[in-house]
Structure 1
Amino acid sequence: MEDDFDIAVANVDALPAHIYRDDSSSSVNLLEKFSNIPLRIRGRAEAWEVPRDQIKLASKIGEGTGGVVYLCRWRGLDCAAKLLSTASKVSVEYHDMINEISTISHLRHPNLVLFLGACTVSEPLLILSEYMAGGSLEDRFDLKKKQLGRPWKPSRIQAINWCMDLSRAVCFLHNCTTPIIHRDLKPANLLLSENDHLKVSDFGLCKTLAKVKEDGTPYTMTGCTGTKRYMAPEVVLSQPDYDEKVDIYSMAMIFWYIFKGERPFNLIEPQLISLLTSSRGLRPDSRAIGWPELEELVECMWAENPKLRPSAVEIVSKLKVMQSAANASSEDAKVTCKCKFNCVVQ
């Protein structure tokens, strides 16, 4: 007797030949066809459904709205396991995680945290991803500040490299066949590898632009206090037609954070931030970045009018020039001593 899996595969196999033609309308139709297949069945068809007994949970390494993250062991590999903290299938958190699995299971990019699999057949929902040993960008800045007793600023090369990593990830997302809007970019969602490469995580709010809670009230972003510092004015004002430029605004605030070493609007009450940025046009002082070319770019990125903000492709192009200049400047600053070891001194 055929099960759900066999029926789903048969339905896909039965798609007419023209659906596979290499044109945009066919691609959209094919994506819509697959999106209607239940997630638990897609997991088997796409080979990412993981047997729960293969995952050995260890220590808790993080916790957020609706989810707990554990260091775990899976098939000889250290991984991160994100578990849903509520079993309710009508909760916002449940639908966020379903949305995240549905999206990231198709995405592969060097600057996105690698999705390894998920457990969707039984409860609780679980997302398995690569373990990022460097923690979050926010944790790095907080730790350095605690160690130094003052805000920490990374080197210019390190800072521009992180900005480039973020920009490449967003450029990839915005240029997918069906563009993906992250909608919750902030330092807590940017993770660092053991080699300090930056990758984007947490896709629970991506792409879904008109979400509401079960009771019909407007949906709020995760971790409002932290998120509002990076939230575009059009999102704050609940404008229904905002687009991928909301991510560009968030990136501008993150760039400022990386170069300044402090959270935007750190001295302003959290509940006032969204009002001042959306209705009063308040922005951080771009001069704190200390790099005129980047200051000009950031000012364009957080422009009030989304149409005036550059695309992610344009940002990557401009950052490449700045990155090359920073590397060249670093090389010029190196001095080789005259000892037999040819030491390089900064």
Structure 2
Amino acid sequence: MGNYKSRPTISCADELKNKISESYAVLRSKLIEDLRTRDVEWTDFQQACSRSDVLKVVELASSDNVNDKDHAGLTPLHLCCITGGSKDHVRCLLQKGGDANTLSRNGFSPLHIACYKGDVELICALLDGGGNVQHFGYHEVAGLHIASMCGHEEGVELLISRQSDVNSQDVVKFSPLHIACYFGHEKVVETLIKDGAEIDLAGSVDDKPLHLSASKGYLKITQLLVEGIGDNRADVNCVDKEQHTPLHFACKGGYLAIITYLLQHDADHRLTNIYGDTPLHLACYHGKLEAVKTLISQTGDTCLNMENIFSETPLHSACTYGRSVDLVKYLLEQDAVDMNYQGMDGHTALHSACYHGHSWIVQLLLDHGVDMNLIALSSDQNGGSEKKEEQTCLMWAYERGHDAIVTLLKHYKRPQDESACGDYSQPGSEGSYVSVPSPLGKLRSMTREKIDVLHLRANIPHNLQVLFTDIELMEPIGSGSFGCVHKGKFRGKICAVKRYRASTFGAKSDVDMFCREVSILSQLHSSYVIKFVAAVLDDPSQFAIITEFVSGGSLFSILHEQKRLIDLHSKLTISLDVAKGMDYLHTLPQPIIHRDLNSHNILLTENGHAVVADFGESRFLSSREGMVQDDNMTKQPGNLRWMAPEIFTQCTKYSIKADMFSYALCIWELLAGELPFAHLKPAAAAAEMAYRNTRPPIAITFPKPIISLLQKAWHANPEDRPEFSSSIPILEMCKESQAVAMLSNSAQMETFTISTSHCAPEEDEEEDDGRSTPPLAGHVSAMRTRWELEASKNSGVPVDELRRRIPYLQLDKNGYVSDPLSTLRMPLMPSGSIPEPPPLPSSPTSLNLAVSELLQEKTKFPEEK
């Protein structure tokens, strides 16, 4: 159904708002937890502090016990602040040597507690006694953040007068002004602005205080921010990283007073976010009728037919929401609204209502005379080729299972029509009847798929066609929309078994994907792509593909779930293997475009090498040049986060160069160790790259040849991207360069792993297809034992003695050697010698300078000379 289904159900702004709420709820709960003291195993002195018994405190306090902590990490000063002790109580403890900056287990100092309770006297006493006004605790909050959160105006004024940084930012880069705006404390906001708080300071996703006040509906705070003091005032059209303006948030929440105020102060109602939504779109998507009326009455009808990137106007948006008949009725009454408007993919407002099952909206649209026979364009696969399929709104309702709407559309007769006819009704017949894609459409689909399966059985060698009973299934190792992947055993060998669900009707059926993937896999013979073993073809309910089992798991899992450290040499090995695998696919007599290259589909062997996997979205191309005709490609295949712009923008003419764009993002992800645009949802990330031409930031520590390769590989124009064949020599030279070897060695020294800068491959090491990178990881004890045995063999020192004398082999927090992909080969040592720990750089700064110098000056390649 075109790109309509790719619209995210929740935007990044919504997700951030939820995370902020959860984050500060956790902060409050931790503070409350510290306030709920328990006198379990307390000393007499601690009990006296909790009762604010000054005389007893003076009698028992000493330098030995004044900083004792209880089970929750609370000191006597904490207990005094929690129970509302006097300033004399606090001063007594401070004079005895109490530390006003000690943090509890939950990460709060006595000053944080006093700020939370709003006790000005205690705050003064703590600051006079050496308390640090800028001491950061849990969530990187200072006392001023907590006082602003709680709305303690006097505490805020006192902290600012004691030189607290009014613009300091917590872990989500919220300043005290952000927090006061979020929690709606008008007096605190006024105080902060008066004392110099920066009104347009950006949060972690460029969210400004005005965004927060508009999203929460605080009119007075919005006015304070917009009017400001002097030049320090809010920009009414400021944008966050999703390009939302404050007006977007006000319309989304339906806050009429704020909408009116912002429009009076030159807020631009035509600005769009990265999804192409105007403020009017968001008001309609959330059913805010009065907000829609306010916008239209004050700004006119300029936005009524504006289309977002999901091919939807405000009328489409209201029908998608579907719970406000009055909103849809109001929009239909506007002269500028075209009730039959078709977006880029052809779907109408009626399609949207049918897709979401809003029967009252469907009835309303039909009563207003919409054309139920207008078509949207979707993709349909037919063997190796694809063609656009025309889909009516009835088909959308049918495929979503909305039977009541299907019945309504089939038999609807407009009051003004004597004999209403649909596309498929006979002239003169009674009523309006539009044929349903079932059973005829379903029969066509099943017939086509039976032909595909028969063709597959005829072309796959008999020895590669097996019964499902020949496979021994083990634990599941992955899943997706296609079905599930299991670890299994076949003919005595461990393998991976990909089982398909038997869904035999739809624009993109599982049977069709299965047939295509088997036909592609069975023709691939390269050590850089997953090896095909066999397939189960006899029964659609048991369709399965058997491939080699790659024990290292996916690159995504290694980087983002296990969070394993990888040295630069190994990263380049992986990049090179993937490039060779993709070059093999693109240079076949009949080239193959992968279309779903991402870190999920790059699997790592136990030797640290990579293979390309998952060909469910792949296609054979008819030309060696890798280009296809306009109607020969599906819209938006694969994962949005790694998607080339020409695919995301619904272009139906793209080439194998789309794979190069995805590959560039994989290289960046591998080098950076994080997801591309991790702060955005996948659709937002794809839109950012496609419509704003934004790319992930390049670190100065990336090798210069790789930077040059990335900039070419993710070029906006596919024609300017290189071939994989031209990228391979660059990666090979970079991998073998002295700078990379030194950098890998430096990274290992920094994490206290064994230095390998002078290592040479063992002479008797077995080669596997010319690739000899050592094992990926494996069990920690096995890795350590291997190292110790090798060191013992070369030095002549018994293993037990070696373990006693070399305590510096470090494991990371997950129990792995710090750099699991680093080589384990040892330098040869003279008999009787014991390896000494490698010298560490004097400081992280000196290491970074050395790395920068290596990358900027040492790495020279022919194409740069």
Is TM (by shorter chain) over 0.5? Answer: yes
Show the counterpart of 1:64. 480
Q: Equivalent of 1:334, from 745, 749, 758?
A: 758
User: How far apart, in 2, do the equivalents of 1:144 and 1:341 lie?
Assistant: 38
Counterpart for residue 692 of structure 2: 280
Name which of 644, 648, 666 aligns with 1:236.
648
Instruction: Write the distance in 1 (CA, Å) between the matches of 2:470 and 2:603.
Output: 25
1:320 aligned counterpart, secondary structure: helix
Q: Distance in 2 between matches of 1:132 and 1:118?
A: 18
- Cα 1:288/1:65, change in 2 over 3 Å: farther
On the 8 A contact 1:49/1:119 being kept in 2, the answer is yes
- How far does residue 220 in structure 1 lie from its aligned partner after superposition? 4.1
Cα distance in 2 for partners of 1:144, 1:107 equals 30
Structure 2 letter corresponding to 1:244: I
* Worse-matched range after superposition: 176-185 or 64-73: 64-73
Counterpart in the other structure of 2:497: 81
Distance 2:834 2:675 in 1: 38
Distance 1:273 1:288, change over 3 A: farther
Match of 1:105 among 498, 507, 522: 522
Distance 1:58 1:153, change over 3 A: closer
How many Å separate the matches in 1 of 2:553 and 2:680?
Answer: 27
Matched residue, 2:601: 189
Write the letter of the residue equivalent to 1:310: P
CA contact (8 A) 1:115 1:129 kept: yes
* Cα shift at 1:288: 5.8
Q: Is the 1:260–1:288 contact (alpha carbons within 8 Å) kept by the matching residues of 2?
A: no
Residue 610 of structure 2 corresponds to residue 198 of structure 1: yes
Name 1:119's counterpart in structure 2. 536
Unaligned stretches of 5+ residues in structure 2: 1-451, 621-627, 746-755, 760-826, 839-865
The answer on whether the counterparts of 2:632 and 2:653 sit within 8 Å (CA) in structure 1 is no
Q: Distance in 1 between matches of 2:503 and 2:586?
A: 32
- TM-score, length basis structure 2: 0.33
Q: Which residue of 2 aligns with 1:52?
A: 468
Distance 1:97 1:337, change over 3 A: closer
Query: RMSD over aligned Cα, in angstroms?
Result: 2.5
CA distance, structure 2, for counterparts of residue 80 and residue 64 of structure 1: 15
**d(CA) in 2 for partners of 1:65, 1:41:** 28
Q: CA, structure 1 residues 64+97, in 2 after alignment: closer, same or farther (shift >3 Å)?
A: same
Structure 1 CA distance for aligned equivalents of residues 700 and 583 of structure 2: 26
Q: Following TM superposition, by how much is the alpha carbon of 1:328 offset from its aligned partner in structure 2, in angstroms? A: 5.2
Q: Of the candidates 104, 118, 140, which is equivalent to residue 558 of structure 2? A: 140
Contact 2:693–2:716 at 8 Å: present in 1 too?
A: yes
- Indicate the SS of the match to 1:57: strand
Tell me which amino acid in the other structure corresponds to 2:670. Answer: I
Confirm or deny that 1:221 pairs with 2:633.
Answer: no
Residues 144-180 of structure 1: CA deviation (Å, up to 9, x unaligned): 33xxxxxx54101110000001000001000000111
2:735 alignment counterpart: 323
SS in 1 for 2:654: coil
Offset from partner CA, 1:99-144 (integer Å, 9 cap, x none)? 1101110101001111001011212210000011111110111233
CA distance in 1, matches of 2:560, 2:643: 21
Residue type of the alignment partner of 2:533 = L
- Bigger relative contact order, structure 1 or 2 (CA pairs below 8 A, ≥6 apart): 1
How big is the shift at 1:302? 0.3
Contact (CA 8 Å) 1:229, 1:264: kept in 2 or not? yes
What is the deviation of 1:315? 0.6
Per mean C-alpha deviation after superposition, the further-off stretch among 53-62 and 321-330 is: 321-330
Give the partner amino acid of 2:547: S
CA distance in 1, matches of 2:728, 2:657: 15
**1:229 and 1:274 in contact (8 A); partners too:** yes
Question: Aligned AA for 2:548?
Answer: E
Tell me which residue corresponds to 1:180.
592
Shift of 1:86: 3.0
- SS of the equivalent of 1:199 reads strand
How far does the alpha carbon of each residue in 1:213-264 deviate from its partner, in whole angstroms, 9 at most, with x for none? xxxxx65424xxxx21211110111222211100000010000000100000
In 2: Cα distance, 1:312 partner to 1:242 partner: 17
2:592 aligned counterpart, secondary structure: coil
Aligned to 2:573: 161
In 2, distance between residues paired with 1:127 and 1:269? 31
| Partners of 1:190 and 1:255 in 2: CA distance | 11
Which segment is superposed worse, 112-121 or 319-328?
Answer: 319-328
Contact 1:66–1:86 (CA under 8 A) maintained in structure 2: no
Q: For 1:79 and 1:272, locate their aligned partners in 2 and report how far apart those are by CA, in whole Å.
A: 37
Partner of 2:166: none
8 Å contact from structure 2 (residues 531, 547) kept in 1: yes
Candidates 574, 583, 587, aligned match of 1:171: 583
The normalised TM-score by structure 1 is 0.78
Alpha-carbon shift at residue 200 of structure 1 (Å): 0.7
Per-residue Cα deviation, 1:278-305 (whole angstroms, up to 9, x for no partner): 1110101122652222111111100001
Report the Cα distance in structure 1 between the residues aligned to 2:547 and 2:453, rounded to whole angstroms: 24
Q: 1:219 to 1:140 in 2, by over 3 A?
A: same
Q: Is 120-129 or 327-336 further displaced after alignment?
A: 327-336
Q: Secondary structure at the match of 1:80?
A: strand
Q: Which amino acid aligns with 1:53?
A: T
**Counterpart-to-counterpart distance in 2, 1:341 and 1:240:** 68
5+ long unaligned stretches in structure 1: 1-34, 146-151, 213-217
Normalized per residue, the structure richer in strand is 1
Q: Is the 8 A contact 2:596 2:637 kept in 1?
A: yes
Matched, 1:39 2:456: yes
Which of 89-98 and 152-161 deviates more? Answer: 89-98
Query: Which residue of 1 is the match for residue 400 of structure 2?
Result: none
In the alignment, which of 691, 697, 703 is matched to residue 291 of structure 1?
A: 703
Q: Shift in Å at residue 37 of structure 1?
A: 7.1
Q: Aligned with 1:106: secondary structure? A: coil
Q: Point out the more displaced range, 326-335 or 104-113.
A: 326-335
Question: What SS class does the counterpart of residue 38 from structure 1 fall into?
Answer: helix
List, as ranges, runs of 4+ consecutive aligned residues in structure 1 with deviation greater than 6 Å. Answer: 342-346
Greater shift, 70-79 or 288-297, is seen at: 288-297
2:780 maps to none
Indicate how the Cα distance of structure 1 residues 211 and 127 shifts in structure 2: closer, same or farther if over 3 A, else same: farther
Q: Which range moved further: 263-272 or 110-119?
A: 263-272
Instruction: Find the aligned partners of 2:648 and 2:834 in 1 and give their Cα distance.
Output: 54
Name the structure 2 match of 1:5. none
**Alignment partners' CA distance in 2, 1:238 and 1:286:** 28
Partner residue of 1:26? none
